[in-house]
């Protein structure tokens, strides 16, 4: 049987304030119930050896003071740690520390505040805040996206590189480029991994995920491409714009705004 065969809470509790974290993690017993209500810990587990149900028992010799034990009458004897099979399996922090860090990150609180509140080191906090961001990446990159935009809608687009990065003479040589867009004044987005950042590749992504792409051709897309090619540093944008206005003056005559 699979070790991860388990039952989790069907109605996770709602955490609204820092007080919810404090009052639900004052001791291990409370913290375990808290994580069970959040769905982080299972309510019921099954033995990976014999398939029998397991029960949670106290064990003061363990860091978390509890363990899962097989209830089989055949004396299977299989034991699991409380964190086994969950994303906390390799975590060394206490439940209280983890809950506080999750709250601080989700409420955009500074890392130093999280360090002060949790008692974890600054280096540990960097790792945990990055981990929370990794969760965002995993969630977003595994979603299916529908077209966004349309008449009267503005879609803001951007690119970023994710994944492990190595440096060779200052250049990033590993990672995955991701191209995405956000529909302004809504929560609609799209993200797509791309093999390269050529005009053809990015235009293909836009045609797939943005409605009304023909209008975008003459506005945001080319602004995006221009800025990426000529003005990656915003300090260069004004001078490059002026330079290109002069260089392509004849082509721009009919486009010059006349109002004002």
Q: Look up the domain containing 30 and give its range.
A: 6-90
Span 42-76, pLDDT tens digits: 888 888 888 889 888 888 888 888 889 988 877 78
> Residue 155 pLDDT more than 80?
yes
- Asked whether residue 138 is assigned to any structural domain, the reply reads no
Q: What is the mean pLDDT of the chain?
A: 78
Q: What is the count of structural domains for the chain?
A: 2
- With respect to residue 63, please indicate whether it lies within any of the assigned structural domains: yes
- Note the pTM of the prediction, 2 decimals: 0.69
pLDDT reported for residue 229: 64
Mean pLDDT of 85-106: 88
Query: Are the C-beta atoms of 103 and 118 separated by less than 8 Å?
Result: no
Q: What is residue 253's predicted lDDT score, i.e. its pLDDT?
A: 55
Largest interatomic CA distance in the chain = 89
* Angle at alpha carbon of residue 226, lines to 187 and 203, rounded to 5°: 55
Domain assignment of residue 118, yes or no: no
C-alpha 190/C-alpha 168 separation (Å) is: 31
Out of 90, 111, 128, a domain closes at: 90
Residues 6+ apart with CB under 8 A from 1: 46, 47, 48, 49, 50, 51
Output the pLDDT for position 124. Answer: 92
- 136/255: higher pLDDT: 136
Query: Is 234 a domain residue?
Result: yes
pLDDT above 70: residue 173: no
154 and 234 co-located in one domain: yes
């Amino acid at each position: 049987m699979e070790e991860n065969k388990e039952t989790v809470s069907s109605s996770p509790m709602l955490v609204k304030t820092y007080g919810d974290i404090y009052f639900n993690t004052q001791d291990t017993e409370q913290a375990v119930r808290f994580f069970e209500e959040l769905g982080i810990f299972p309510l019921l587990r099954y033995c990976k050896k014999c398939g029998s149900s397991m029960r949670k028992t106290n064990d003061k010799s363990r860091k978390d003071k509890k363990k899962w034990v097989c209830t089989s009458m055949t004396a299977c004897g299989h034991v699991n740690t409380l964190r086994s099979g969950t994303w906390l399996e390799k975590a060394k922090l206490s439940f209280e520390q983890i809950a506080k860090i999750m709250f601080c990150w989700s409420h955009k609180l500074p890392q130093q505040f999280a360090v002060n509140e949790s008692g974890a080191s600054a280096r540990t906090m960097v790792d945990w805040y990055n981990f929370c961001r990794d969760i965002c990446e995993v969630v977003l990159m595994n979603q299916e996206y529908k077209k966004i935009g349309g008449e009267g809608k503005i879609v803001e687009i951007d690119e970023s590189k994710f994944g492990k990065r190595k440096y060779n003479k200052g250049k990033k040589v590993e990672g995955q480029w991701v191209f995405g867009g956000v529909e302004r004044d809504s929560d609609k987005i799209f993200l797509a991994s791309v093999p390269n950042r050529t005009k053809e590749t990015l235009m293909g992504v836009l045609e797939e995920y943005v409605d009304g792409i023909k209008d975008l051709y003459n506005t945001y897309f080319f602004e995006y491409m221009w800025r990426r090619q000529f003005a990656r540093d915003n300090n260069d944008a004004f001078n490059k714009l002026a330079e290109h206005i002069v260089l392509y003056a004849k082509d721009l005559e009919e486009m010059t705004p006349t109002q004002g």
